[in-house]
Amino acid sequence: MGRSGLPSTDEEVRALLASVVDRLTDEFEGIYDRGSVSAVVDVSAQELSRGTVKPFVPVLAERFARERLTAQAQAEGRLAKVVPNVVFVSLTGGGRSEIGAALLARNAGDSVSIHSAGSQAGSEIDENVRAALKEVGVDLSEAFHQATHAGGARGSS
């Protein structure tokens, strides 16, 4: 690991992603086999590594892959939905989906599963969106944004 505690080599990233596969394989035992989990983690990591979040790819790939596996298992009827899903989608990339998701999360808490997506999303949440939400007491430090892809799901805010 580098001095910052972030992975500094491709070998370190691969080792961290292998640990992600181990954890998610255990979490989805009886639902998905290791190969299926590994494929989702790989795709998630590849999509995330295109942006400026490269040092954080292992942790973000784990979150993204967990959400994808959960959504897929729920869609297949292999995992019960305990709360309704709400998806906010922005077609312009202006941050509206993040704002909607963050405000609902603040007001609804764990009573809904909240996701945001955008067809023209960047690799990071717009700083103006962060600033506006900070003014009303909403912290987006744990949020990440991912462009939608045909047939794909995206991570939550």
**What's phi and psi for 118, nearest 5 deg?**
-155, 140
The Cα 55–Cα 7 span in angstroms is: 6
Which CATH code fits 1-81?
Answer: 1.10.8.1060
Task: Give the model's pLDDT for residue 5.
Answer: 47
* pLDDT on residue 6: 45
What is the per-residue pLDDT for 95? 75
Question: In the 8-state DSSP scheme, what is residue 147?
Answer: B
Q: What is the per-residue pLDDT for 155? A: 40
The pLDDT value recorded for residue 45 is 87
How far apart are alpha carbons 125 and 35 in whole angstroms? Answer: 32
Contact status, residue 1 vs residue 12, Cβ threshold 8 Å: yes
Separation between Cα atoms, residue 21 and residue 153, nearest integer Å? 19
Query: At CA 69, angle to CA 106 and CA 55, rounded to 5?
Result: 70
Count of helix runs (H) and strand runs (E) in the chain: 5, 2
Token readout for 140 is: 């987006």
Q: Is 115 helix (H, G, I), strand (E, B) or coil?
A: strand
- Report, as ranges of residue numbers, the positions in the chain whose pLDDT lies below 50: 1-6, 145-157
What does the pLDDT read at residue 2? Answer: 43
pTM of the model: 0.56
Domains of the chain: which residue ranges?
1-81, 82-157
CATH topology for 82-157? Answer: Rossmann fold (3.40.50)
